[in-house]
Each structure stands twice: as C-alpha cells, then as structure tokens.
Amino acid sequence: MNTSNEGEAGSHPSRALAEFAAGLQSRHVPGPVLDRAEDLFLDWVGSALAGKGARAVGIIEGFAREMGPASGGSEVLVSRRETTPLFAAMVNAAASHVAEQDDVHNGSVFHPATVVFPVALAVSQVRGASGPELLAASVAGYEVGIRVGEFLGRSHYKVFHTTGTAGTLAAAVTAGRLLGLPAGQMLHAMGSAGTQAAGLWEFLRDAADSKQLHTAKAAADGLMSAYLARDGFTGASHILEGEQGMAAGMSHDADPAKLVDQLGERWALAETSFKFHASCRHTHPAADALLQVVEAHDLSPDDIVSVTAHVHQAAIDVLGPVVDPRTVHQAKFCMGATLGLIAVYRQAGMEEFEHHYKDDAVEAFRQKVSMALDPEVDGAYPQRWIGKVSVVTRSGETLEGRVDEPKGDPGNTLGRGEIEDKVHRLAEFSGAATSDEVQQLITYVWNLRQVRGVTALFPGSIG
C-alpha cells in the first residue's frame, strides 16, 4: 500500500502518515504481518493480566471507577468490569506496562502494544468491529507510532519516555482507524494527540508510579483525540515536523525522513520484539550474555568477582540512576539487580523480581556489577541491541559473553508455543485468569481473523 509519492510525503510527512493510517485495511497487510499482530496482541493481553493487583494500577482503576460510568461496552481486563472505551483503555494501558513484559521496537525504543491494543480492544468492543478491523487499526498504530519514535531520535529518549509521547499518536491513529476517520480528520486527531504527548524519565529516580500514568494517558488522550476529530475538532496539521511541533520542543536530532520510511512497504510491526525477562529492555542484552557465561561455565554467584556490562549510552541514561532499588518496579530498571537474579536464579522473571530482588545473595551480587559505555554497542544502537559482558572469576579468569540478538528479537523470537506459555505464567502470577480461561483466550486470538464482532475476551465480564 503506497499512499503518496515521495515528494509529497517529504514535504508534509504528518499528512502522509494520516493518509496511510486512514486508508489501511487488513487486505493491504501481508499475511505474516497479520500473524505477527495476533502474536503481539496475545502477548499484550498477558501483560495486562499481569498488572492485576499492582498498587499503581489499582489507583488508576479506582480513579476510573470514580470518574467513569459502570457501563459502556468496553472491558477492563484486571477487574472484568464494563465501562466506556476511554476508561477501559486507560486502565488496560496502565495494567499492561507494569510487569515489564510488554513488547518493544528496538529502532524507536518504543513499546507499541501497551498503548495500541488497549485502544484497539476498547473501541472494537463498543463498535462491534471485526477481528480484521481490530488488526488493521493496530497495524496502523504500530506503523505510525514506531516511525514517530524513530523520527524523534536518541536525544528525545534521553529525557522523554517515548511510549508516552509517540504512544499518544499511535493511540490516536488506532482509534481513528476504527472510527473510520478520513485522512483530513486523522490528521486533526494526530495534531490533538501530539499537543498532549508527554512522559519524562525523572520518575525513575524516585521509584514513582509515573510509567503507568504515561501509558494510561497516552491511550486515553489518543482515543479522545480521535473522537474529537470525528466530531469536527481540529488539531495542528504539522504537529510532528512544524516549527513549534513535537520535534522542535522535544528533540535536537529529529529526522523527518524516518516518518515516511518505506511507508506501506516496510512493516515496522514485524520488527517488534517480545520481552523475555521481566525487566527494562536495556537490561536484556547483558542478562542474556551473562546467562550464556554462567551456563557455559556452570558458575555460582560466589565464583564471580565482578561483571562489567558493556552497554549503549541510553542504558546508562535510564538505568544509571537506579543503584539501590527500593521497589520491585524500580529493581526492574537496575542492571545490578537484574544480573543478580540471573546469577543466583538463572532467570529474571516475575516471580524472581517479586520475591527475590532483595535477597542477600542478589544484593551482594548487585555490588559486583558495573556498566561501561562500549563504542560498538553504542554505534549499533538502537537498530541492534548487542549484549556484551566481561566476567572476572575468583580463579582469575576473565570470561566474555556476547549476544547479538537478545531473546525475543525478530531473529531470536518467541514461537507461538512460547507466547502461550508466557501468557499462562503471567495470568497465573497475578491470578487474573484461570488456565482454562487463558486457553480459551488463546483459541480466540488465533482465530481473530474470523471474528465478525469483537466482544469480551473473557465471556461474562461484559453485559
């Protein structure tokens, strides 16, 4: 699908994105990309279920209960209640970004699922959209959101949480596609979304709850922008590349060409990675590399004197402030805590973080971990997330570990069986769904392209 010629797209990339999103239908999307969209959707539901019981999610859910109606046709997954699309999307987006198991696109450093699928599900349910319509809208959200993240660049990510910023545009496009907005109204929706886009990394220093607020607001604000545009509300037509647009205020290395990079030909959704460990993605390459060394040499934590994780600058920017984590969620942004769990338990999943990040052995190992900027790793980032560690042992050896594609990347991806197992584990962890309910969900998602009208994922929770 090609919506405009290169010259027109280059002169007004925001409009080119709007035209692409407004016109996208499932028949335009290659079959393997739709398969991948189903995979990512199921993976996202697992993350949303895992958010049940999290304090920050409970507070946002309480706010939604107080402010939103107890009806409306859209499903809140963690509480199985019904409300309007706005509040359902808000809560489901918050819930799916707390376990740190939701997907990530490397090149944009953006978590698409947590802002796209809450909107796609909520609007589809209230409108009775078909499975293919849900998938097409989700693909549109991924394609636009990823390109906005790539466009805003590394300087943006140093201060701004891209999932909160680019995610607002992705959510708007997703809702706009399901509402059937023509290109002009889609552009207005993007303008209104962009002027609301926000999310700052400062929260990590205080172990604050803002990360869940970022996704809740991105989903809700994007959805609101689309509904307003449907009714004639206007937004800036050059919100991305304009003189006082997002790039002007949020980046100093923005590249407008990335907004329309092979639009309709390159499917960025297919480049999206699953998250294997229950931690910040910046820890994953080093975690995989350390696990490689530990397993190859059968090392215990006591066999190791020190570990140096050779990382890109963004890992230092995001993880560097977290040296003594005070909460489970903050521990997921601590390289030392994550590698400590890998060394002690040889995995860093939900159970390990929830129950063991403060173990004496893990805390002792955390003191052995340092990060060092590596020119090769930094030069490859963000297109490639290389993992390199140097492990000094008590015997005096220095062992090197290297992973060129962390587990979950497209070249080292999760198969459908692994995704199913992951969703079962996440639901079991939080108690949000029984094994039988998860199995019914899996069957539903694998047959999503045959669904004529999307209803509750968990029958009986709506109506």
Q: What pTM value is reported for the model? A: 0.95
Outline where 51-182 has alpha helix (H): 55-67, 85-95, 113-127, 131-159, 162-178
Q: What percent of the chain has a predicted confidence (pLDDT) above 90?
A: 96
Query: 189 with 175: CB under 8 angstroms?
Result: yes
Position 461 scores a pLDDT of 55
Give the pLDDT band (50/70/90) at residue 37.
Answer: very high
Arithmetic mean of pLDDT, 340-351: 97
Query: 463 with 75: CB under 8 angstroms?
Result: no
| Surface-to-core class of residue 316, CB atoms within 10 Å of its CB (0-12 exposed, 13-18 middle, 19+ buried) | middle
Measure the CA–CA gap between 152 and 328, rounded to whole angstroms. Answer: 30
For 151-190, give one letter per residue: b (16+ CB within 10 A) or e: bbbbebbeebbbbbbbbbbbbbbbbbbbbebebebbbbbb
Arithmetic mean of pLDDT, 278-297: 98
Query: 258 with 147: CB under 8 angstroms?
Result: yes
Measure the CA–CA gap between 74 and 238, rounded to whole angstroms. Answer: 32
Arithmetic mean of pLDDT, 268-274: 98
Using the 8-state DSSP alphabet, how is residue 402 labeled? E
Helices 131-159 and 31-50: crossing angle in degrees, nearest 10, is: 70
Give the pLDDT band (50/70/90) at residue 6.
Answer: low
Measure the CA–CA gap between 98 and 119, rounded to whole angstroms. Answer: 17
Arithmetic mean of pLDDT, 60-69: 96
pLDDT in tens, 362-385: 999 999 999 999 999 999 999 999
By DSSP bridging, strand 304-311 and strand 369-373 are parallel
Position 239 scores a pLDDT of 98
Query: Cα–Cα distances in Å, from 234 out to 91, 229, 289, 405?
Result: 27, 6, 49, 43
Outline where 320-452 has alpha helix (H): 328-331, 335-345, 350-356, 360-366, 375-380, 416-430, 435-446
Structure tokens at 305: 């004197």
pLDDT in tens, 111-156: 999 999 999 999 999 999 999 999 999 999 999 999 999 999 999 9
- Measured from the Cβ of residue 276, the count of other Cβ atoms closer than 10 Å reads 22
Position 425 scores a pLDDT of 96
List every span in the chain annotated with CATH 1.10.4100.10: 6-271
Cis peptide before 459 (omega within 30 of 0): no
Position 11 scores a pLDDT of 83
Give the pLDDT band (50/70/90) at residue 9.
Answer: low
Instruction: Choose among 374, 369, 366: nearest CA to 311.
Output: 374
Measure the CA–CA gap between 315 and 280, rounded to whole angstroms. Answer: 9
Average pLDDT, the chain: 96
Arithmetic mean of pLDDT, 57-68: 97
Arithmetic mean of pLDDT, 85-92: 98
Predicted confidence (pLDDT) at residue 429 exceeds the cutoff of 80? yes
Dmax over CA atoms of the chain, in Å, equals 71
Position 1 scores a pLDDT of 61
List every span in the chain annotated with CATH 3.30.1330.120: 281-407
Is domain 6-271 classified as CATH 1.10.357.20?
no
Arithmetic mean of pLDDT, 335-346: 98
Class of domain 281-407: alpha beta
Rg of the chain over Cα atoms, rounded to whole angstroms, equals 21
